[in-house]
Amino acid sequence: MVIAAPLPQPREEIRSTDAVQPARRRTGLWWWPCALTLALSSHGLAASLLSRDELVTWDVVNRDTGQILATLKNVDAVHGTYYLLMHMWVSLFGDSVISLRLPSVCAVAGAASVTSLIGNRLFGHRAGILAGILFALVPAVSRYGQEARSYALVILMVALATLFVLRVLDNPRSPWRWAAYALTLTGVGLLHLIALSVVVAHACVLAAHARHDRSVWWKSALVLSAVAACVTPLALLGRSQAHRQLYWVPEPDLWALSSIWPEVFASAVCCGALIGLACLAHPPRKAPALLCAVWAVLPCVLVWLASHGDVSYFRHVYILFTLPAWALLAGAGLAATFHSPKATAALLAALAVLTLPDQKRMREPFEHNAPVPLDYAAAAAVVTKYHQPGDAVVYDRQDTWKLDSGVQYYLPRDLKMRDVFLARTPTAINDLYAVQCPVPDLCLRGEQRIWLLTQGTGPDPFAAISTEQASALRTRYQATMSTSMTGMTVTLLVRKEKS
């Protein structure tokens, strides 16, 4: 695909008689979207319990660098760059909920600024700042700006790579601009391989300009080859691990291709509003709109097509990096259709009000653990309140993902209990999954009290663990206290007196 004409140069600012005004105008272009996004994504930052994926982040980043690298050889290599970055962050700022999520907050705030700068470059100042504001109002931006995973950083890096490719074309002779583009694009691939599909949109722009400057052909080929060389080892390793990590993702049908967008925006209302505004974009030159349209739509189509092999990659979180493109098109459409500042402000206010229920939902206690909520914090509070020295613990690890890590995160760090049926920790085997004792009877050491933490709130907590473990515990222990909370049950087992 080739864009018919090169992208326009940045629109010149209208100079005011007051020399300070242009500087304020340029600063406001990136500052206001950044501040709005920072405020929205910071609100209720610790309101939701850590998700299962965030608990993986916490687990991995608290290992030393050698252990992290060894783990990546076995599993989750595609998130390795993020884990290493977060390992450095946690070593400096700790692993509280706020600390774990703060880099994502900063990333989406930065992405809002970059979106505005791109919008100014493509559609003008007013469209640019509107694009940044619309980006901030998308509920998914707040949701994944509060997630200790790589998705927010990926959004930022894709937006930066797009800005840098536009700057390259302002001055194709500058090796420093090509280098910045190459490094940023490599960062995109190292953070999330699927996000490299944005290169298709970049290739359209580069191909259009190459018709006027033939050096762009070989320079582009050199940059893209260097990026490919850097990410290919990761791609090969990630591909070898894909089935283990994504075996549960279903192969998408044609309906999934259209129904995924409300999930991407985390709001059907916001999805409809931004796509509707995007359809109103009609800039004088079609190249900018085409660039954003390819960025917004084509990655999803490519991922859908790639998901019809032996592994499906079709998850909404993998295409969140298209949100800036939708915001850019919507900002252009809004600027072109509503010329009155009052009408524009009213529409933005209406969008903010209409998406308020979705924004509230993003901050509910179990939103990050949907659709199977588990109240790790409440379970940990029960154990902490009634714990006695010498207590041991049994975690339900049967078809339950990260229940043990979730409770351990919310327990006091100085509260240590022997994990009765744990044979080898994930850290010891450089993996994300623990190895359990093969013969439960032999793993009991005469503990007087054992806490049994299980998923579900049924009347028999022993039904949640394996038959062998349940039999070993039933023979020697009796339940003296059982407390249920959302999705979980905490049971205190006390050793039976010998008759």
pLDDT on residue 7: 58
Distance CA 461, CA 488 (A): 9
Choose among 195, 499, 130: nearest CA to 341. 130
Distance CA 120, CA 332 (A): 10
Contact 366, 379 (CB under 8 A): no
Helix (H, G, I), strand (E, B) or coil at 161: helix
Distance CA 295, CA 158 (A): 10
Q: Where are the domains of the chain?
A: 20-368, 376-495
Distance CA 210, CA 212 (A): 5
Distance CA 16, CA 303 (A): 47
Dihedral angle computed from the Cα positions of residues 188, 189, 193 and 198, in that order, rounded to the nearest 10 degrees: 60
Helix pair 125-137, 268-279: axis angle to 10 deg: 160
pLDDT on residue 90: 98
pLDDT on residue 499: 56
Q: Which residue has the tokens 């022997």?
A: 418
Choose among 201, 205, 202: nearest CA to 182. 202
Distance CA 440, CA 418 (A): 14
Choose among 95, 117, 99: nearest CA to 34. 117
**Two structure tokens written together for 105:** 């907050």
Reply yes or no on whether the pLDDT at 50 is more than 70: yes
**What is the pTM (predicted TM-score) of this model?**
0.94
Least confident of 14-18, 89-93, 172-176: 14-18
Reply yes or no on whether the pLDDT at 225 is more than 80: yes
The predicted-structure confidence for 423-469, as pLDDT tens digits, reads as follows 999 999 999 999 999 999 999 999 999 999 999 999 999 999 999 99
For residue 451, report the phi and psi dihedrals to the nearest 5 degrees. Answer: -90, 125
Distance CA 467, CA 487 (A): 21
Mean pLDDT of 269-279: 97
